[in-house]
Amino acid sequence: MTKRALITGITGQDGSYLAELLLAKGYEVHGLIRRASTFNTARIDHLYVDPHDPEAKLFLHYGDLSDGARMVTMLSEINPDEVYNLAAQSHVRVSFDEPEHTADTTGTGTIRLLEAVRLSGIHTRFYQASTSELYGATPPPQNEETPFYPRSPYAAAKLYSYWITKNYREAYDMFAVNGILFNHESPRRGETFVTRKITRAVARIKAGTQKDLYLGNLDSIRDWGYAAEYVEGMWKMLQVDEPEDFVLATGVGYTIRDFLETSFGHVGLDWQEFVKFDERYLRPTEVDALIGDPAKAADKLGWVPTIHGDELARLMVDADITALAEGHQWIDTVKLPSWGTV
Ligand code: NDP
Ligand code: GDR
């Protein structure tokens, strides 16, 4: 029997890699997309086949996490074996500007989807995209037992989603799990997150089309992994016998300065000549240090990441140089894990 999966947030970084992974595994993949006045499917266009084609395995459905009734009609129609809830307003800095919208999408959106699973009466496994931002002010190393202390409207909304997912598991015996993922990046990372902002700037500065790079706090520490490896961990969480929450991380921390050093150094430039400070990029409350302990995922899922911060910086710089030269928004110059290449 062909397995069916629904991915919310399929047009985002993780959604696109997860769709590739599931298609490579033979799944029929359904994705929730938002209606927009311009196309917003660039990350998955290479996977799309006309739905009239009998070979088609990827199907897209209009909807929005703010629309609970739509979640019910969509789930009833698709009847998926697995639901991956990746959709969110996912930018921490932006969540301070749009706290209510962030709560509605990143927090309440999850209960709408869980209720839709319950009301439509389908039997499905549910993955919730939880985050290391939940730990916030609690110092590293952080694992599944570490207390949460959110430091932004985004993290507070994700905290609600974390607990409501756990509550539905306990209250309704649902197979519903949280993947507590530390930062993961790729050539497809949104351009306003710090890693991609840096690697894109390196490519442009090297090409002579950008002069300066404006950034905020350079002292925070993050545990950066490679998104294509992390989506495999998501899938593994839904394949085990008992529903449990897992941390996915590399276990290694880098500062923003380290990432700058590696990225600019990779093309023979000194970052200090180009990086300028702009307070606009500071957050009212910052998360100083996130370094995860992925031991449980290694032990119970056999999930072990192979690409860490330095290598990631270099591969993202290479990808941005190629993308700039070829006139693309992004390009994957690296081989993806064993499940395929793009
Ligand atoms: P992106 O920001 O790249 O993608 C977010 C996705 O959510 C997009 O497809 C976006 O659609 C969709 N979306 C936003 N709002 C709505 C809405 N109201 N209704 C339906 N869809 C919506 O995020 P990532 O791929 O990086 O992350 C995936 C998930 O994992 C997010 O929930 C994020 O918070 C979480 N996470 C990410 C980590 C990371 O390091 N990347 C770490 C830990 C957790 P559109 O394209 O139309 O904007
Ligand atoms: P984060 O990622 O907040 O960890 O959330 P981001 O790349 O936005 O920031 C990382 C750190 O870099 C500092 N920083 C800047 N950040 C941005 N975006 N732009 C800048 O110019 C800049 N200058 C310095 C930030 O202050 C911060 O300390 C990401 C998202 O993907 C979330 O959805 C996810 O849950 C977490 O990772 C884990």
| Domain layout of the chain by residue ranges | 4-189+225-251+291-307
Indicate the residue type of 79. N
pLDDT, tens only, 192-208: 999 999 999 999 999 99
Q: How many angstroms does the Cα of residue 91 sit away from the middle of ligand 1?
A: 9
106 SS3 class:
helix
Where is average pLDDT lowest: 40-54, 102-116, 148-162? 40-54
Question: pLDDT tier at 342 (50, 70, 90 boundaries)?
Answer: very low
Provide the mean pLDDT of the chain: 95
Among all bound ligands, the one having the nearest atom to the CA of 96 is: 2
Please give the C-alpha separations between residue 190 and each of 7, 239, 330, in angstroms, as whole numbers: 18, 29, 10
Ligand 1 atom nearest to 11, measured from its CA: 9
> Could you report the predicted ipTM of this complex, rounded to two decimals?
0.99
Q: What is the mean pLDDT of residues 268-278?
A: 98
- Residues near ligand 2 (Cβ within 6 A): 90, 92-93, 131-133, 182-183, 192-194, 197, 215-217, 220, 222, 256, 281, 283, 286
Q: What is the mean pLDDT of residues 113-121?
A: 97
Is 90 exceeded by the pLDDT of residue 331? no
Prediction pTM value: 0.97
CA-CA distance, 228 to 225, in Å (whole number)?
9
Residues 6+ apart with CB under 8 A from 213: 197, 198, 201, 205, 274, 275, 276
Is 50 exceeded by the pLDDT of residue 341? no
Q: How many angstroms does the Cα of residue 69 sit away from the middle of ligand 2?
A: 33
75 SS3 class:
helix
Q: Classify domain 4-189+225-251+291-307 by CATH number.
A: 3.40.50.720
Is 60 exceeded by the pLDDT of residue 180? yes
**What pLDDT is attached to residue 332?**
73
Sign of the four-CA dihedral 206, 319, 223, 304: negative
**What pLDDT is attached to residue 337?**
64
**What pLDDT is attached to residue 338?**
61
